[in-house]
């Protein structure tokens, strides 16, 4: 029973490589680290497989008579490839546009809110901390490359920290968005109604008790339209 557990343990943690193959051993781990980074992107676009299957069945069932009898795997592959490329281009375009919009919003918000500057400094410190910890974990992984147990543990910590960093970046970005909304509201001085608290109508002092619900809704959407256009 002891021998069997040792064999299983040896499959998880391979034997220490010879000294002359240390560079090859380190290089072989680089694709795994890159795969951990790419996994963050593939988790998002992997849902496109379901879209590809639905699109394939709709169009192929309509245009191809023997679709149910003959399998054509190239249809799904073509759709998935096109969706991956288009999603990457769309994400890049969106991020570049969001970056320029963010610069404009930061410039408007810094003139009004000092707390936003504190938030941005916190984000910068957070980003530097992430980079420092990743470098430290990578150096630790390279240092213990001759000891498989410690090397695998270091790699697992790197993988876990990357996943935790993604969650932390999302939470920080959500906090910044909330701060931006408050700063823009103070800068523009526009009463933006809350759609979450009231769905059908918006209360105002100018609305009398004799007005109907339709007029109340019209005034609400008119204010909402003016707020967004400004």
Domain ranges, ordered by start, for the chain: 43-110, 114-190+197-204+212-230
Burial class (CB in 10 A: 0-12, 13-18, 19+), 21: exposed
Q: Residue 60: which residues within 8 A CB-CB, separation 6 or more?
A: 67, 72, 75
Average pLDDT over residues 92-106: 64
pLDDT value at residue 23: 58
Confidence label for 142 from pLDDT (cuts 50, 70 and 90): confident
Confidence label for 143 from pLDDT (cuts 50, 70 and 90): confident
pTM: 0.31
CB of 159 closer than 8 Å to CB of 34: no
pLDDT value at residue 204: 44
CB of 149 closer than 8 Å to CB of 16: no
State in Å, rounded, how far the first CA of the chain is from the last one. 74
Average pLDDT over residues 168-179: 63
Distance, in Å, from the CA atom of 123 to the CA atom of 144, rounded to the nearest integer, reads 32
């Amino acid at each position: 029973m002891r021998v069997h557990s040792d064999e299983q343990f040896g499959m998880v943690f391979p034997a220490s490589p010879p000294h002359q193959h240390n560079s090859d051993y380190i290089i072989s781990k680089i694709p795994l680290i890159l795969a951990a980074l790419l996994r963050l992107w593939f988790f998002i676009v992997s849902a496109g497989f379901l879209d590809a299957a639905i699109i394939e069945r709709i169009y192929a069932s309509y245009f191809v008579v023997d679709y149910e009898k003959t399998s054509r795997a190239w249809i799904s592959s073509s759709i998935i490839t096109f969706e991956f490329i288009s999603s990457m281009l769309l994400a890049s375009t969106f991020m570049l546009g969001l970056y320029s919009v963010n610069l404009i919003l930061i410039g408007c918000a810094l003139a009004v809110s000092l707390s936003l500057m504190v938030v941005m400094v916190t984000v910068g410190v957070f980003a530097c901390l992430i980079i420092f910890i990743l470098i430290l974990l990578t150096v630790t992984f390279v240092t213990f490359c001759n000891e498989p147990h410690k090397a695998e543990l270091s790699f697992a910590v790197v993988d876990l920290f990357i996943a935790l960093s993604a969650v932390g970046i999302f939470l920080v970005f959500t906090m910044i968005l909330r701060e931006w909304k408050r700063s823009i509201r103070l800068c523009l001085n526009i009463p933006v109604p809350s759609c979450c608290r009231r769905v059908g109508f918006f209360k105002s002092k100018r609305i009398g008790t004799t007005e109907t619900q339709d007029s109340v809704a019209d005034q609400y959407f008119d204010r909402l339209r003016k707020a967004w256009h400004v």
